[in-house]
Chain A
Amino acid sequence: MATAEKPTKVEQKSDVILKYLRPKKKFPSVWCAGCGNGVVQSAIIRAIDKLGLSKDEIVMVSGIGCTSRMPVYMDFNSLHTTHGRALAFATGVKFARPDMKVIVVTGDGDALAIGGNHFIHACRRNIDITAILINNSIYGMTGGQGSPTTPGGAFSTTTPYGNVEKHFDPCSLAKAAGATFVARGTVYHAAQLEKAIIEGISHKGFSLIEAVSNCHTYFGRLNRRGDAVAMVKNFKEVGVTTAKAKTMNEEELKGKIVIGTLHEDMVKTEFCDEYQKVINARQGGK
């Protein structure tokens, strides 16, 4: 019965995940059952494993919120910081140690509301940080308040009569601010998300990967979108690839989520590299 001892595909996959989780950290996580954060975390781990990076060279930085708890569970150098400031802390880490891979995990509230200024300036500098923004269109940890990505008309505990504000598109914002790699995925399209993360980490410069996710506990419940399964199924239905999106007009694209690489700039110089040139010139010029 040699075949019985061989691990199944699922077991092999979970072995990869377990390899990167913190052995001494007590699980379960703070996330609700069915939360998309777990899917994104798995995609990050598989991406790092496939890239063959050592755990020691990775610094995972986060701010505050449900998403921001993620680094704590993973066996890397982890920095769980203050609300909105993850990219500013990460800038300090990366600039001090350009040889390390700095990955920021953040949420829509963390990155785009309180951290909006740091977000656009990290993009502008084109510092070699990979930011993974899990966008669930609501504040989960504090109990379902409206965020900068809550769509107009949507319900939250602070928009009880429907949201009267407009929402951000994080990818357009990042591109306009100067990020040199921008991609989007959803928690349904996990394999594509993994690929986007691999490309983002490999890219030299600031990369943003938006992972559209489900908060069925608040957004789903308040907006009658159903449970986790229903919300994830919906991502399957509304997700269209960039290639397909090119064949669609504006009307057809309404309500769709375009997934894939949205922007890539291989020409723009990276911040730490440019500063190193200044150091070299000053030290050489002496």
Chain B
Amino acid sequence: MQGNMACVQGAIYAGLHFYAGYPITPSTEIAEGCARELPKLGGKFIQMEDEIASMAAIVGASVAGLKSMTATSGPGYSLMQEGIGYAYITETPCVVVNVQRGGPSTGLPTKISQSDTMQARWGTHGDYTAIALAPSTVGETLTETIRAFNLAERFRTPVTVLLDEVMAHQRELVSIPKKGEIPIIDRIKPTVSPEDFEPFAQTANSVSPMPAYGEGYRYNITGLTHDPMGFATANLKEITWKLDKLRNKIMNYRSEITKLRTAMMDDAEIAIISYGTVSRAALLAVALARKAGVKVGCIQLYTIWPFPEEELQDYCSKVRKVIVAELNMGQMVNEVSRILSPEIEIHKLNRYDGEIITPLQLLEKLEEVM
């Protein structure tokens, strides 16, 4: 099946019951798939008037108790940032899929890109901690979409899935997991009485239980910085507490979120770091280079935010050089430079003409840096 349909299947597997979206290339098949499939399952699909409204509608549906998702591409993702920020501060679980195209602006609607890597981290204003995932195959699109829903529910936060035009439209064999094969996480509901309920209470893991509207816990949700009761606050300690909570509930549990894959890194002197579609070329390039006796390995990031600092430092502890390959002018490479030892040479391979990075290009780069 197509990557975009794998995303739909993954979402349904995870319990998606509400989709709101606006047509945009190259993500539209996700909306079309949800429009077709959701009513069969008793779920809801709505085409909203724009991406701002789509994001607002999925937050509304989530607080009403349904697992919700929207999908878009760069221009729509920009419009959604307002609502994504609202989901961060109100701690509303939801999934936003961004099938990336080249930018800025309308850019390259039918061409591949990874130029929203930083938008997925810093897209909306203010301080917050983001979770973003980047699969590299159609099959992984299915499983990473499931993981996105699980993380959204577990941490009460919006989660971005970064796909790209090539992955969205290519077709590969996918096995849909059987029911129960992949565990599904649902948000925790409160057990206290409505009188004792504090909607944004500090808990041991900083994630507050979340009732659905209509379950008897009549509480306030606001985009204003708020106290544990959900009311706007100007109290300095409460402001700091709220922002710390948004960070700590994710950063203190990074091990649950981080996911990387390495290949041939044991004795590697050079590491290729990549994510998304580029990782496919990296795997092949490394296999070919190994045949020629080059000690090279590759590291693929599935979780790109929060950035897997410690894991990368660990994997790169023995390498002399790294190549960061991305379909943009160099976004993740700055994160890599920030965290790796200054003794490690950092090289970058970028492409931003709307075409993929090929294994041959990676091999040429390898030759150049060796």
Instruction: Check A93–B218 contact: CB distance below 8 A.
Output: no
> Given A57-B214, A118-B53, A282-B39, A78–B220 Cβ distance below 8 Å?
yes
Confirm or deny: B162 has a beta carbon within 8 angstroms of a beta carbon on chain A.
no
Question: Cβ of A88: which chain B residues have Cβ within 8 Å of it?
Answer: 48-49, 52-54, 56-57, 60
Q: A56-B214, A85-B53, A99-B214 are in contact. List 15 more A-B contacts (CB 8 A).
A: A26-B231, A59-B64, A79-B221, A88-B48, A88-B52, A88-B57, A89-B59, A89-B60, A92-B59, A92-B60, A92-B61, A96-B61, A117-B49, A121-B49, A121-B53
Instruction: Check A93–B40 contact: CB distance below 8 A.
Output: no
Instruction: Check B214–A80 contact: CB distance below 8 A.
Output: no
Instruction: Check B42–A85 contact: CB distance below 8 A.
Output: no
Instruction: Check A283–B40 contact: CB distance below 8 A.
Output: yes
List residues 206-223 of chain B with CB under 8 A from any CB of chain A: 212-216, 218-223
List residues 168-218 of chain B with CB under 8 A from any CB of chain A: 212-216, 218
Instruction: Check B53–A97 contact: CB distance below 8 A.
Output: no
In the complex, the chain B residue whose C-beta lies closest to that of A22 is: B220
Confirm or deny: A51 has a beta carbon within 8 angstroms of a beta carbon on chain B.
no
Confirm or deny: B232 has a beta carbon within 8 angstroms of a beta carbon on chain A.
yes
State the A residues within 8 Å of B (CB): 22, 24-26, 55-57, 59, 61, 71-72, 75-82, 85, 88-97, 99-100, 117-118, 121, 275, 278-279, 282-283, 286
> Given A78-B220, A92-B18, A97–B214 Cβ distance below 8 Å?
yes
CB distance from A158 to the nearest CB of B (A): 23
Confirm or deny: B308 has a beta carbon within 8 angstroms of a beta carbon on chain A.
no
Question: Cβ of A92: which chain B residues have Cβ within 8 Å of it?
Answer: 18, 20, 56-62, 64, 68
Confirm or deny: B44 has a beta carbon within 8 angstroms of a beta carbon on chain A.
yes
Question: Cβ of B218: which chain A residues have Cβ within 8 Å of it?
Answer: 55-56, 75-78
Question: Cβ of B219: which chain A residues have Cβ within 8 Å of it?
Answer: 77-78
- Does more than half of chain B's interface fall in helix, strand or loop, or is it mixed? mixed
CB distance from A179 to the nearest CB of B (A): 15
Confirm or deny: B229 has a beta carbon within 8 angstroms of a beta carbon on chain A.
yes
Query: In whole angstroms, what is the CA distance A93 to B222 when docked?
Result: 15
Instruction: Check A100–B213 contact: CB distance below 8 A.
Output: yes
Instruction: Check A81–B223 contact: CB distance below 8 A.
Output: yes
Question: Cβ of A26: which chain B residues have Cβ within 8 Å of it?
Answer: 231
CB distance from A276 to the nearest CB of B (A): 9
CB distance from B204 to the nearest CB of A (A): 24
Query: In whole angstroms, what is the CA distance A209 to B49 when docked?
Result: 22
Query: In whole angstroms, what is the CA distance A278 to B41 when docked?
Result: 11
Instruction: Check B213–A89 contact: CB distance below 8 A.
Output: no
In the complex, the chain B residue whose C-beta lies closest to that of A120 is: B49
Instruction: Check B222–A72 contact: CB distance below 8 A.
Output: yes
Instruction: Check B60–A91 contact: CB distance below 8 A.
Output: yes
Instruction: Check A95–B46 contact: CB distance below 8 A.
Output: yes
CB distance from A128 to the nearest CB of B (A): 14
Instruction: Check B223–A95 contact: CB distance below 8 A.
Output: no
6 A-B pairs closest in CB distance: A92-B60, A92-B57, A88-B56, A88-B53, A96-B64, A96-B61
Confirm or deny: B50 has a beta carbon within 8 angstroms of a beta carbon on chain A.
yes
Confirm or deny: B26 has a beta carbon within 8 angstroms of a beta carbon on chain A.
no
Query: In whole angstroms, what is the CA distance A76 to B219 when docked?
Result: 7
Instruction: Check A93–B63 contact: CB distance below 8 A.
Output: yes
Question: Cβ of B20: which chain A residues have Cβ within 8 Å of it?
Answer: 92
Task: Produce 1/0 per residue, B223-243, CB < 8 A to A.
Answer: 110000101100000000000
13 contacts between A and B (CB under 8 A): A61-B60, A71-B220, A88-B49, A91-B48, A91-B53, A92-B60, A92-B61, A92-B68, A95-B44, A95-B46, A100-B213, A118-B49, A283-B39
